[in-house]
């Protein structure tokens, strides 16, 4: 079985490689997945039976707001080309990774079920990205309906982990860890966070998403489902957890309310996930941040 993982150098790809070492892990340095000839070359070279599609244009809230066309175009193009040629080259297993940004900005009932995906538009702060990733769900459903494929998408909540980006345009937990560490080594007594600290978020370690991907592959699970943790915490609570996990006993938070909060809540239901993978036991946020921070310090990344 030939398995190709796109976005293989990203945080989920690196987590997956630890438990699925025999797959081919490709990055943008190998192929430009928004360029059709590169996609064809990839399929011709590896002739995969399985595509695990992790590649995406991703970034923080400010970058999403300032570059909506890029987030839409790049994700729509690469998703469409990957699916088109997966069908043409008889790929029998396709697993695409979405995001809870695909869900409506507001729903009547929380946590959000997989069936709620089309009940309204995504949040404005991730509007283009959310619609582009939602379109991948539409495409996969359409292929399964028309061509009787068994393609699948997973909808993870926010991700974090050792292999995230810790420079500019970081995701929230990565940026939070970096801010805390910088304040800690400079003996500052506070950090600044965007918004008012009230929005609620679920965060899952990239190792846990990698586990779910491999479990679905190994156990012939084709359901399209959320991948999340039951922890749904405020930004403020997550910051205080991160302080302790990073070895900080006391530090204040200054909220910059001139910056956007983003979506107030988007917690995803884990009911289907627990039905299909009852053994799934994601790492607690406090333990995951400590694991991440210890790795970053040991490897001189911060």
- Angle 245-110-160 (CA atoms, 0-180°, nearest 5)? 30
Please, are residues 153 and 140 in contact by the beta-carbon 8 Å criterion? yes
Phi/psi of residue 43, nearest 5 degrees = -65, -40
Cα radius of gyration (the chain): 19
CA 113 to each of CA 13, 116, 119, 260, 292: distance values in angstroms, whole numbers, following the listed order: 26, 5, 11, 26, 29
User: Residue 102's closest CA among 226, 276, 238?
Assistant: 226
User: Along the chain (302 residues), what's the average pLDDT of each consecutive run of 10 residues?
Assistant: 96 98 97 98 98 91 88 97 98 97 95 98 93 98 98 97 86 94 96 96 98 98 98 97 96 95 92 97 98 97 93
* Alpha-helical runs (H) found in the chain: 11-19, 36-46, 61-66, 68-88, 127-147, 172-185, 206-218, 235-245, 271-276, 285-298
d(CA 78, CA 18): 25
Q: Are strands 200-201 and 233-234 parallel, antiparallel or unpaired?
A: antiparallel
d(CA 234, CA 126): 19
Q: Which residues are catalytic?
A: 129
Instruction: Centre a 10 Å sphere on the Cβ of residue 130 and count the other Cβ atoms it contains.
Output: 28
Structure tokens at 184: 């800690």
Instruction: Give the pTM.
Output: 0.95
Instruction: Centre a 10 Å sphere on the Cβ of residue 158 and count the other Cβ atoms it contains.
Output: 17
Q: Give the pLDDT confidence score for residue 209 in this predicted structure.
A: 98
Class of residue 230 by CB neighbours under 10 A (exposed 0-12, middle 13-18, buried 19+): exposed
Q: Give the pLDDT confidence score for residue 1 in this predicted structure.
A: 83
Q: Give the pLDDT confidence score for residue 291 in this predicted structure.
A: 97
Q: Give the pLDDT confidence score for residue 19 in this predicted structure.
A: 98
d(CA 152, CA 96): 6
CA 148 to each of CA 27, 49, 151, 283: distance values in angstroms, whole numbers, following the listed order: 29, 16, 9, 36
Helix axes 36-46, 68-88, angle to 10 degrees: 40
Q: Give the pLDDT confidence score for residue 242 in this predicted structure.
A: 98
* Total residues belonging to the chain: 302
Q: Give the pLDDT confidence score for residue 252 in this predicted structure.
A: 97
CA 104 to each of CA 130, 157, 172, 198, 229: distance values in angstroms, whole numbers, following the listed order: 9, 14, 20, 19, 19
């Amino acid at each position: 079985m030939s398995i190709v993982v796109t976005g293989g150098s990203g945080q989920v790809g690196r987590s997956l490689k630890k438990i699925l070492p025999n797959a081919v892990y490709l990055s943008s340095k190998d192929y430009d997945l928004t360029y059709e000839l590169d996609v064809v070359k990839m399929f011709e070279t590896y002739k995969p039976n399985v595509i695990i599609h992790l590649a995406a244009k991703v970034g923080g809230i400010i970058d999403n707001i300032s570059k909506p066309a890029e987030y839409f175009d790049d994700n729509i193009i690469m998703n469409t080309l990957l699916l088109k040629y997966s069908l043409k080259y008889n790929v029998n297993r396709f697993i695409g990774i979405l995001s809870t940004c695909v869900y409506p900005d507001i729903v009547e009932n929380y946590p959000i079920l997989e069936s709620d995906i089309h009940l309204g538009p995504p949040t404005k702060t991730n509007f283009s990205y959310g619609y582009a990733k939602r379109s991948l769900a539409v495409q996969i459903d359409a292929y399964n309906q028309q061509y009787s494929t068994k393609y699948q998408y997973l909808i993870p909540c926010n991700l974090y982990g050792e292999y995230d980006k810790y420079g500019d345009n970081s995701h929230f937990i990565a940026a939070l860890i970096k801010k805390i560490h910088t304040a800690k080594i400079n003996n500052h007594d506070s950090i600044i966070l965007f918004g008012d600290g009230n929005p609620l978020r679920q965060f899952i370690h990239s190792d846990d998403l990698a586990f779910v991907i491999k479990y679905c592959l190994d156990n012939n699970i084709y359901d399209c489902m959320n991948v999340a943790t039951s922890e749904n915490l405020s930004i403020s609570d997550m910051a205080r957890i991160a302080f302790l996990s990073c070895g900080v006993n006391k530090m204040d938070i200054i909220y910059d309310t001139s910056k956007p909060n983003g979506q107030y809540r988007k917690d995803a239901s884990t009911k289907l996930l627990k039905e299909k993978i009852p053994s799934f036991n994601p790492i607690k946020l406090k333990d995951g941040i400590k694991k991440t921070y210890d790795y970053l310090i040991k490897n001189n990344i911060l």
